[in-house]
Chains A and B, each alone.
Chain A
Amino acid sequence: MAFEIIESCVNCYACEPLCPNQAIYQAQPHFLIAAEKCTECIGDYMEAQCVSICPIEGAILDEVGVPLNPPGSLTGIPPEILAGLDRQGTAAVLP
């Protein structure tokens, strides 16, 4: 039972201080979750903290690899339009 941060993470640091288990750490090329420490915030918060502040749709996956903030859920941009944008390379370059 653990979440996972994937390559669309923009390294904004927002999740890192919120984790009740200090499971999130800075790494290259993006932040990661130490699976052995992640409890998905069960017992600490009603909502998983990293998932609740992450601004990037699809950047955090649940234990079966499903995006916790699916396309369109944070920006309100319809997923079909988003897909087009990604092809145009609106990519993150934050270190």
Chain B
Amino acid sequence: MELPVLNAAPPAAPSGGCTSHACGSTDDQMGHLPEHIRQKVYNHPCYSEQAHHYFARMHVAVAPACNIQCNYCNRKYDCANESRPGVVSEVMSPDQAVKKVMAVAATIPQMTVLGIAGPGDPLANPERTFETFRQLSEKAPDIKLCVSTNGLTLPDCVDELAKHNIDHVTITINCVDPDVGAKIYPWIFWKNRRIRGREAAEILIAQQQMGLEMLSERGILVKVNSVMIPGVNDAHLVEVSKIVKAKGAFLHNVMPLIAEAEHGTYYGVMGQRGPTHEELQQLQDQCAGDMNMMRHCRQCRADAVGLLGEDRGQEFTLDKIEAMEIDYAAAMVKRAEVHAQIEQELSLKQQARTAQAELAALQAQSPLAASARPVLMAVATKGGGVINEHFGHAAEFLIYEASGHGVRFIGHRKTTPYCEGGDTCGDGESALDQTLRVLKGCEVVLCSKIGYEPWQPLEAAGIAPNGEHAMEAIEEAVAAVYEEMRVAGKLDLPVAEQKVA
């Protein structure tokens, strides 16, 4: 079977005109990975930007204990409506978790990946974590297993990880400098003692780096997560990116700090701000010179279920799972069919994308087109790689950049759905105001439909609402709208002054 190509290489610089995946463009998230790695990640929603529109993942919260404290985490916190790492509704036993995974896999055949991500550190709960993996690799061999960790006990766990055939590990590495680390980690638990400050950071960093090297040696894929904390590690993360790449990490995911006073975290209550969308994008672009960057991460809960950006956890609470009869052998047959369908669809899309990329490359050879300014566009989608979400129902927008060099995915921005927002949210800001703020910098918003009411405020803010490309493939639609703007002479003008603060 030919593997569907994941993310079309954007057409290379105008002079080159190369559209092959080997041409080394760093915009292409998966394109230049070695074939054996692409085989492992093409259907992993967390690793492949393309796959995340089609394949689903789930986390099981079997690992409540943690062995370090991070300033962006509050161990007391739980909320059914919050979506961020470290948050769960119910901790489960390995047996319960296995039952849940099989129930979800049978109900949502697109689910390809099971991760253990907390709510504590999975490797600080080795018995519970590995018992879950052991049972699943036996009972549900068609599910990929992965784990994320702060890395403190990783070197001790590498052999056990290899035994369970876990081929993906995520390590959260926020720094390689203990002086930076001392501002992020107040303490670690190490060799039967609580250790604080710089000494703690030094140990943690050494363990993370050793764990990364050991995993690389064994051919286990490593993704590195970093939390971008303005004024603490933002400048430093460029160096982190270089080092982890040199040690074999295949993907770097720079995520924005989430810090709100009501979360009760140190950073939240002390007023540490998170990065703006622009700052995050700038850092990701800086790091991209050195390695594959991941831009579609949704920073999901430690018990999330479904496509990235959605959470169907409420359909699979413990009491509901108890009532479900699962015939996993039958489910596996169904799952294989669904996966084959998706792969075929991806493959067809890829052919279309390659053709489009070649065309765009030709167009880009005209000096006029290549010099045209880039435009950011926001897209409302429920998944599937098409524009299929109503503006008022969108809880997030995907951001794409169109330029003379093609279309590239930049990231996603969350908001409160306009139709569900009520009068105000947060500190007196209406849901529409929030969306307008979130869309800052975008000149177009593409959605399947948009009501009359938000139309005028969007235009007034310099963001053109566009419902004309409903159900079309996102990248084609973005390219088409960009072409319309070019023909209309809008690209010759400077970016319209946006009125949103």
Sorting the interface of chain A by its residue count into under 10, 10 to 19, 20 to 34 or 35 or more gives 20 to 34
- What residues on B are CB-neighbors of A49 within 8 Å? 192
Cβ proximity bits B33-51 to A, threshold 8 Å, 1 near / 0 not: 0000000000000000000
Sorting the interface of chain B by its residue count into under 10, 10 to 19, 20 to 34 or 35 or more gives 20 to 34
Within 8 A of A (CB), among B75-112: 75-79, 88-91
- What residues on B are CB-neighbors of A91 within 8 Å? 76
- Name the contact of B74 in the complex, choosing from A45, A46, A47, A90 (C-beta under 8 A): A90
Assess the B269–A85 pair: CB atoms within 8 A. yes
The complex places the Cα of A62 from the Cα of B179 at a distance, in Å, of 34
Q: Does A42 contact B (CB under 8 A)?
A: no
The complex places the Cα of A52 from the Cα of B189 at a distance, in Å, of 7
Q: Does A53 contact B (CB under 8 A)?
A: yes
Within 8 A of A (CB), among B419-466: none
The complex places the Cα of A91 from the Cα of B120 at a distance, in Å, of 17
Within 8 A of A (CB), among B171-199: 186-187, 189, 192-194
Assess the A13–B192 pair: CB atoms within 8 A. no
Assess the B75–A12 pair: CB atoms within 8 A. yes
Measured CB to CB, the nearest residue on chain B to A69 is B194
Within 8 A of A (CB), among B268-285: 269-270
Q: Does B356 contact A (CB under 8 A)?
A: no
Q: Does B230 contact A (CB under 8 A)?
A: no
- Name the contact of B64 in the complex, choosing from A12, A46, A76 (C-beta under 8 A): A12
- What residues on B are CB-neighbors of A45 within 8 Å? 192
- Name the contact of B266 in the complex, choosing from A76, A93, A95 (C-beta under 8 A): A76
Assess the B66–A12 pair: CB atoms within 8 A. yes
Assess the A76–B262 pair: CB atoms within 8 A. no
Assess the B78–A77 pair: CB atoms within 8 A. no
- What residues on A are CB-neighbors of B262 within 8 Å? 88, 90
The complex places the Cα of A62 from the Cα of B380 at a distance, in Å, of 55
The complex places the Cα of A91 from the Cα of B89 at a distance, in Å, of 13
Interface class of chain B by DSSP: loop
Within 8 A of B (CB), among A65-95: 74-77, 81, 85, 88, 90-95
- What residues on B are CB-neighbors of A52 within 8 Å? 189, 192-194
The complex places the Cα of A90 from the Cα of B262 at a distance, in Å, of 8
The complex places the Cα of A35 from the Cα of B263 at a distance, in Å, of 34
- What residues on A are CB-neighbors of B119 within 8 Å? 94
Assess the A10–B193 pair: CB atoms within 8 A. no
The complex places the Cα of A46 from the Cα of B194 at a distance, in Å, of 11
- What residues on B are CB-neighbors of A93 within 8 Å? 78-79, 89
Assess the A90–B194 pair: CB atoms within 8 A. no
Assess the B192–A77 pair: CB atoms within 8 A. no
- What residues on A are CB-neighbors of B143 within 8 Å? none
Q: Does B67 contact A (CB under 8 A)?
A: yes
Assess the A95–B264 pair: CB atoms within 8 A. no
- Name the contact of A94 in the complex, choosing from B74, B78, B124 (C-beta under 8 A): B78
Cβ proximity bits B365-386 to A, threshold 8 Å, 1 near / 0 not: 0000000000000000000000
Shortest distance in angstroms between A48's beta carbon and chain B's nearest beta carbon? 10
The complex places the Cα of A14 from the Cα of B264 at a distance, in Å, of 21
Assess the A14–B269 pair: CB atoms within 8 A. no
Measured CB to CB, the nearest residue on chain A to B263 is A90
Cβ proximity bits A1-31 to B, threshold 8 Å, 1 near / 0 not: 0000000101111100110000000000000
Q: Does A61 contact B (CB under 8 A)?
A: no
Assess the B270–A77 pair: CB atoms within 8 A. yes
Q: Does A38 contact B (CB under 8 A)?
A: no
Assess the A13–B64 pair: CB atoms within 8 A. yes
Shortest distance in angstroms between B60's beta carbon and chain A's nearest beta carbon? 15
The complex places the Cα of A75 from the Cα of B269 at a distance, in Å, of 11
Assess the A11–B64 pair: CB atoms within 8 A. yes
Assess the B77–A90 pair: CB atoms within 8 A. yes
- Which of A47, A53, A81: most chain B Cβ within 10 A? A53
The complex places the Cα of A13 from the Cα of B75 at a distance, in Å, of 12
Assess the A53–B189 pair: CB atoms within 8 A. yes
Measured CB to CB, the nearest residue on chain A to B77 is A90
Shortest distance in angstroms between B462's beta carbon and chain A's nearest beta carbon? 38
Q: Does B125 contact A (CB under 8 A)?
A: yes
Assess the A10–B75 pair: CB atoms within 8 A. yes
Assess the B269–A55 pair: CB atoms within 8 A. no
Assess the A56–B75 pair: CB atoms within 8 A. yes
Assess the B67–A14 pair: CB atoms within 8 A. yes
Assess the B91–A74 pair: CB atoms within 8 A. no
- What residues on A are CB-neighbors of B69 within 8 Å? 55, 74-75
The complex places the Cα of A7 from the Cα of B127 at a distance, in Å, of 26
Q: A10-B75, A12-B120, A47-B193 are in contact. Are A53 and B186 (CB under 8 A)?
A: no
- What residues on A are CB-neighbors of B65 within 8 Å? 12-14, 53
Assess the B91–A90 pair: CB atoms within 8 A. no
Measured CB to CB, the nearest residue on chain A to B188 is A53
Measured CB to CB, the nearest residue on chain A to B194 is A52
Assess the B120–A14 pair: CB atoms within 8 A. yes
Closest 3 CB pairs of A and B: A14-B65, A90-B264, A93-B78
Known: A46-B192, A55-B75, A90-B74. 9 other contacts (CB 8 A): A13-B64, A18-B192, A52-B189, A56-B75, A74-B186, A76-B71, A81-B269, A93-B89, A94-B119
Can you pick out 28 interface pairs between chain A and chain B where the beta carbons lie within 8 Å of each other? A10-B76, A11-B64, A12-B64, A12-B65, A12-B75, A13-B125, A13-B128, A14-B65, A14-B124, A14-B189, A17-B127, A46-B193, A47-B192, A47-B193, A52-B193, A55-B66, A55-B69, A74-B187, A75-B71, A75-B74, A75-B186, A75-B266, A77-B269, A77-B270, A92-B78, A94-B64, A94-B78, A94-B119
